[in-house]
Amino acid sequence: MSKEVYMIGEIRTNNFSDKDLFKKIGLLWRKTNDHHVENEMKYGIYHQYESTIVEIIL
């Protein structure tokens, strides 16, 4: 059985120089609570490493 995965948010940050890195990621995770879905599993995925984007997907 296949499951759908979709992006619900993203941020751009620099892991080396952004002093608000953890605050930004924390806010992104909290925003996921606004999305009520059957599957409560959520994943954080890093991609486009040169600009370091973090997405939260369900």
> Residue 56 in contact with residue 30, Cβ under 8 Å?
no
Tell me, yes or no, if the pTM score tops 0.95.
no
* 54 to 26, 42, 50: CA distances (angstroms): 11, 13, 12
Q: Which residue has the tokens 């879905």?
A: 37
For the stretch 1-58, pLDDT in tens is 667 777 778 888 887 788 998 998 888 888 877 777 666 677 777 776 655 566 666 6
